Amino acid sequence: MDVTPLSPKIGVEIAGIDLSQPLDEATFAEIRRLLNEHSLIAIRGQNLSEAEHVAFARRFGQLQIHVLKQFLTTPYPELYVLSNKREAGKPIGNHKEGWNWHSDLSYLEVPCLGSVLYAREVPPVGADTLFSSMEAAWEALDAETKAKIRPLKCVHSYSGYYAKAFADRTPLTEEQRAATPDVVHPLVRTHPETGRLSLYVGEDVVKEVVGLEPEESAALLARLNRHATSDEFSHRHVWRQGDVIIWDNRCTMHKATPYDDVAYTRVMHRATICGTERPF
C-alpha cells in the first residue's frame, strides 16, 4: 500500500489496494490504524459489486440500516443510496442529503462509528464533499474557550434537521419519528480508541446547547461550526467514479455540495458502521 496525505490536518490516500478482494488481517489492521490516525481515507479506482462493498464495510463492525427505508433500493439494506436518479417514477436514493456540516447519524444515542461511501456515478463538476477534522479544530481553540465548553452538552435532533433540510417533502412518519427521538451528547467528545478530544458540533442536526439561552446557544454553535470548518482543518474531495472514502464520524464532520442535477446524475452508496458506545 502507498499512503500519501490528502491535507495537513485530515486524510490520507491509499493506493495499490483492491477492495473487491478479501483483505488479509494485517492489511485490514493497517487500514484501521490509518483511519484512527488520519480520520479519513480515500481509495480510488475501485470496482466493487454491492456485495463486495458490504463485505468490506462489514470488516469494521455491524452495519446500520437507515431509517429512510425508501432509499434502501439495492438488494442490500445496509446500503443507503444517495442519488437524484429515478427509476419507474421513484427516486432510487435520497437527493440533497447532507448539504450541511454534520457527522453521520449523530442524532442516535449511539451514533455511527464511520461511513464507507462508494461513488458509482458522479457528475463531471460539482458534488464535492468537504471533510473537517474536529480534533484539529479542538486543538486549535484557546485555553479559555476549551475550559468553557468542555462540560457542555448539546441536543441533536433528526426531526429538527429533516424539517429544515426537507421542508418540501412529506414529513417523517410517526414510526420514523419514534425511531429518532432527540438525544443529548457532549460538545467535546473523547475518541474511544485514541483517547483524543474533538469538538462534536454540526449544523441543523445540533439544535441547541443545553442550559444556555437560545441566542447564546445559537451564537456559540455558529462560532464553533465556523471555526471547525475553516480551510485550515478541512479537505475537499473531488469525486471520480470508483472512489471509496472511509471516514471516522467520531472526530470529523463533512458536507456535500450542490451540482447540476438536471444535466447530470449522481449515484453514491453508503455503508454505515454502527458505533459501539455513547459519546463521552
Tell me which residues touch Fe ion (CB under 5 A).
Answer: 98, 104
Q: What is the spatial distance between Cα 103 and Cα 243, in angstroms, rounded to a whole number?
A: 20
Minimum distance from CB of 254 to Fe ion (Å)? 6
73 vs 114, beta carbon nearer Fe ion: 114
Q: What is the spatial distance between Cα 226 and Cα 149, in angstroms, rounded to a whole number?
A: 15
The single-letter DSSP state of residue 57 is H
Other beta carbons within 10 Å of 120: 19
Q: Which residues are catalytic?
A: 102, 104, 254, 270
Do the Cβ atoms of 267 and 87 come closer than 8 Å? no
Q: What is the spatial distance between Cα 72 and Cα 77, in angstroms, rounded to a whole number?
A: 5
Closest CA to 50 of 27, 17, 71, 81: 81
Q: What is the spatial distance between Cα 183 and Cα 156, in angstroms, rounded to a whole number?
A: 5
Minimum distance from CB of 77 to Fe ion (Å)? 18
Minimum distance from CB of 102 to Fe ion (Å)? 6
Do the Cβ atoms of 200 and 103 come closer than 8 Å? yes
53 vs 141, beta carbon nearer Fe ion: 53
Phi then psi for residue 195, to 5 deg, are 80, 0
Minimum distance from CB of 46 to Fe ion (Å)? 20
102 vs 217, beta carbon nearer Fe ion: 102
Q: What is the spatial distance between Cα 159 and Cα 121, in angstroms, rounded to a whole number?
A: 29
> Grid coordinates in use for 208?
441547541
137 vs 253, beta carbon nearer Fe ion: 253
Minimum distance from CB of 236 to Fe ion (Å)? 15
* Residue 195 CB-half CA count within 13 A: 0
Do the Cβ atoms of 232 and 9 come closer than 8 Å? yes
> Grid coordinates in use for 72?
434502501
The single-letter DSSP state of residue 241 is T
Minimum distance from CB of 81 to Fe ion (Å)? 13
